Amino acid sequence: MNRFTYRPSALAAMAAILISGPASDLAAQETDTGPRAIPARIIPTPEGLSKAGRALVAQPFWLPFWNEHPASADVWKAYEAGSVEQMEPVLADLRESLGVTIEQVEMGGVNAYILTPETIPAAHELQLIVNAHGGAYVFGSRASGTYEATLMAAYGGYRVLAFDYRLAPEAPYPAALDDGVAVWQAVLKHYEPERVAFTGNSASGGLIVAMTQRLVAEGLPVPAAVAVNTPWVDLAGSGDSLSVNEGVDNVLVSYDGFLSDAARLYAGDTALTDPGVSPVHGDFAGFPPTLLISGTRDLLLSDTVRTQRALRQAGVEANVQIFEAFSHGQYLFDPVAPETLEIFAEITCFLDAHLAP
């Protein structure tokens, strides 16, 4: 029988001996649950990454407006329009270089795009990947939201359906979720669920999680697998990494800028802790096998970790892959970096293990 009894005071005394400090100082902190002050420090770019990976990690803050607070819906829409204008020609070049074609379609009344690689392996011929784009629920409309879907088609050899869900501020929650469910119901008319997977990153990773929870709750079929990269599943911003990786993540940088504003825009009149908005608070029973990917510098690393723990506690197979030094969704910023290729190889391997051929 284990006779050990946990005594915080004894533990504090032991620690005091180890660091040659007075036990009374440590004992005074036994009940302190306040913030911890961390001294200023320089964080080097780690060894062990590819040259391209090191370049991504070493770059300055990627989003020029990370700490801005757009004053009106018109400003948000102007940001989004500028993003579309920049991204669409970039993606056209990317599709051409990777041999991926795009076809605009409508699925369940929702605008969508089918991305098709030059060659589809025989085992993937009857399979489909349903992809939702990232962008904090305020960016990524039209074909500008097909970046990850393009890489999934090219590197995985899958036919990918990328759906163009409605965005905030014009269409707050539950518009995006309703669109996702409508797309899925349309997909089920053409594909067997055991041959379909859901994928998404960032906001759309959270959307995919919320979609799957809603399908289970409504008794609808779920896909054979889910693969989400750094899913934004807690819009209330309570994860540990929001503080630990603030200023370390060179993509999102901080939660206290446009990101928290985007969260409130998307939630609208719904509480940020509502499971439909922040599915980390929802029920994970009935989920298919799930792959989660993040990086050690990701501002939303805690969202990935907490989602995996919730899945495991619900008895779901949940595989988490954490990449050294990568910030939020950084694998998307260099489509040919070795780490990017490795991430899509991991996703493909996972999906091949769970989708019916």
| Mean pLDDT, rounded, of the chain | 91
Question: Quick check: is 34 in a domain?
Answer: no
Span 113-124, average pLDDT: 97
Domain presence at residue 121 = yes
> What pLDDT score does 36 carry?
82
Integer Cα distance of 281 and 44 in angstroms: 35
pLDDT on residue 79 = 86
Q: What is the pLDDT of residue 31?
A: 53
How large is the angle between the packed helices 147-156 and 338-354, nearest 10 degrees?
Answer: 70
Tell me the CATH number at 111.
Answer: 3.40.50.1820
285: domain range? 62-354
pLDDT score at 152: 98
Q: For residue 282, what are the contacts with CB-CB under 8 A and spacing of at least 6? A: 209, 210, 213, 275, 276
Query: Which tens digit of pLDDT belongs to each residue from 74-115?
Result: 988 898 998 899 999 999 999 999 999 999 999 999 999 999
pLDDT at residue 233 tops 70? yes
Reply yes or no on whether the pLDDT at 22 is more than 80: no
pLDDT of residue 34: 74
Return contacts of 36-43, CB within 8 angstroms, 24+ apart. 43/248
Does 11 map to a domain? no
Residue position matching structure tokens 């589809």: 120
Q: pLDDT confidence of 32, banded at 50, 70, 90?
A: low
pLDDT in tens, 312-326: 999 999 999 999 999
Q: Is residue 23 part of a domain?
A: no
> Averaged over 250-278, what is the pLDDT?
96
- Domain assignment present for residue 225? The answer is yes
Between CA 275 and CA 248 the distance in angstroms is 28
Average of per-residue pLDDT across 171-179: 98
pLDDT at 38: 83
Task: Report yes or no on 48 lying in a domain.
Answer: no
Task: For CA atoms 260, 264, 270, 275, give the dihedral sign.
Answer: negative
Which of 43-52, 59-68, 137-146, 204-213 has the least mean pLDDT?
59-68
Q: How far apart are CA 131 and CA 146, in angstroms?
A: 8
Q: Is the pLDDT of residue 274 over 60?
A: yes
Contact 165, 207 (CB under 8 A): yes
Question: Cβ(336)–Cβ(94) under 8 Å?
Answer: no
How far, in Å, CA of 47 to CA of 107, rounded? 46
**pLDDT(10) > 70:** no
Q: How many domains does the chain have?
A: 1
**Mean pLDDT to the nearest integer, 192-205:** 98
Is there a domain that residue 125 lies in?
A: yes
Spell 118-131 as b/e; 16+ CB within 10 A means b. eebeeebeebbbbb
**Is residue 307 in some structural domain?**
yes
User: What percentage of the chain has pLDDT greater than the value 90?
Assistant: 82
Confidence (pTM): 0.90
Hey, what's the torsion of the CAs at 296, 298, 303, 306, to 10 degrees?
10
Omega of the bond prior to 174 within 30 degrees of 0, cis?
yes
Residue 149 makes CB contacts below 8 A (sequence gap 6+) with 113, 115, 129, 131, 133, 160, 161, 162
pLDDT the model gives residue 16:
42
User: Mean pLDDT, to the nearest integer, of 54-60?
Assistant: 95
